[in-house]
Structure 1
């Protein structure tokens, strides 16, 4: 009698253009590696339209990594001298660091507790690869955000209280406003 060896673990191979895509009025996010595939991190491909500004925010538990694939983005990843509630693009760190214009190939690592933001100040879309640890917080956040956006009755905006509660639940402290369009 021959003993059968159980199959070993298998990795995930995801061809270009594959993954679950969600679209909001502001962004397109394609889930690449989810909490179902990894205990370490979730990953996404994010399309950032012209004029979109995620707003400065901070996570106390999450760690993130961004890699710019296409286009240009203004990027913040430092604690400013003063956290003003308006334009993070004017912030400066105690060491004199300022917002950076990121181009393809730029990597941004954001540890827990570090204020960060990205915005597309150009007239062309930008794309980035995004890693978030631990999973699956960002996956669940986007799913719940879509539910809130779907419940909005145009031309009325989505419920700001529901969005604020969602962000709090998913470890997102919004420091400056999220903006759409130039």
Structure 2
């Protein structure tokens, strides 16, 4: 008798938890729990002026495919404008990077992380919202920053000051 094989994972357009993270909407499409930790896929909607600040993670690859709109991706290696159809891969190793939507329209990205784990951080720092509901970024006082730093470090990341990459 042939062993059972894992079935395909299917995600409907309204499936997956949507979270407000730093003012962006991140919908977890596939979590590490579904892939035995191999990878996770996150659908990201980034409003104008949205996007995470400078950060680094040595333990996983992170790729962004731009479905619509554009984002400015900065790293210690330089700046790249990722437009619709572009792919950006941040390899393992820990280069400091960030991205920002500097346009006046919504950017839509598909993020894949290998191995999984980043989605668990988003679940911890994000706030569940309905699809299409955007919350303003939370205020960042000293206590909020300390709490955020503790959480992201728990997931193998390091954050840097907003002006770190110029």
**Is the pair's TM-score, using the shorter chain for normalization, greater than 0.5?**
yes
Structure 2 counterpart of 1:144: 124
Query: Which of the numbers 69, 80, 99 marks the counterpart of 1:71?
Result: 69
| 8 A Cα contact 2:42 2:119, kept in partner | no
The aligned length equals: 150
Correspondences of 1:100-179 after superposition (within 5 Å): 100-112=80-92, 113-135=94-116, 137-146=117-126, 157=141, 159-177=144-162
The reply on whether 1:27 has 2:8 as its aligned counterpart is no
Runs of 5+ unmatched residues, structure 1: 81-92, 148-153
**What is the CA–CA distance in structure 2 between the aligned matches of 1:21 and 1:52, rounded to whole Å?**
16
SS in 2 for 1:50: coil
CA distance in 2, matches of 1:156, 1:109: 28
2:49 alignment counterpart: 51
CA shift, 1:36, in A, is 1.8
- Give the Cα separation in 1 of the matches to 2:57 and 2:40: 15
Given that 1:54 and 1:177 are in contact with CA atoms closer than 8 Å, whether structure 2 keeps it comes out as: no
Pick which of 126-135 and 108-117 moved more.
108-117
* Aligned-pair CA distance for 1:131: 0.5
TM-score w.r.t. the length of structure 2 is 0.79
SS of equivalent residue, structure 1 residue 30:
strand
SS in 2 for 1:35: coil
What's the RMSD between the two structures over aligned residues?
Answer: 2.4
- Structure 1's consecutive aligned runs of 4 or more residues displaced over 3 angstroms after TM superposition are 4-8, 154-158
Q: Residue 9 of structure 1: CA displacement? A: 2.0
Larger strand proportion of the pair: 2
Shift of 1:25: 5.4
Give 2:6's match in structure 1, choosing from 4, 9, 12. Answer: 9
Matched residues in 2 for 1:103 and 1:161: separation? 34
